[in-house]
Amino acid sequence: AAELAAQEMAIETPRLIHLREQLYDQLADVAGLVPTGDRWNRLPHHVSFSVHSAGGEIFSGKTLVRQMNLAGIGISAGSACNSGKLVPSPILVAMGYCDRLAKSGIRLTLGRDTTGADIDWTVMVLKQVLARLAPQPTLLKV
């Protein structure tokens, strides 16, 4: 089983890295989106970011998760170890991010069934959701 898992990982890792880079490239075009962490030194299936308004305010991660989920796209806020809790991500805090940003961090994870079309769809929906949320009072002051 371990040998089979290692063989699958050797195939899956480059594919996930390619998809992750496709996602990063498309997210670079989303106004106000700020990646957290290093782009290259991270898990191959993981992307994280926060969203800031033009005035420097940080969008509530919980609100963004809810709106994306309503659109049929599963994203997560905070760290995986504190999923569902509104506490700062200990990882982002350890990396030097402020508590407010660490509470609003968004995680996107890619999997075996993720395709390039999924990336395109996710970014398109994210842009639409952010456009709807922009004028609403769902922002946290930095």
Catalytic residues: 81
Q: Which letter does DSSP use for residue 63 in this model?
A: H
Query: Which tokens sit at 90?
Result: 């200990």
* Token pair 């089979």 in the structure block, residue: 4
Q: How many residues does the chain have?
A: 142
Spatial separation of the C-alpha atoms in residues 66 and 82, rounded to whole Å: 17
Per the CB < 8 A criterion, the answer to whether 65 and 83 are in contact is no
HSE-CB for 62 with a 13 A CA cutoff: 13
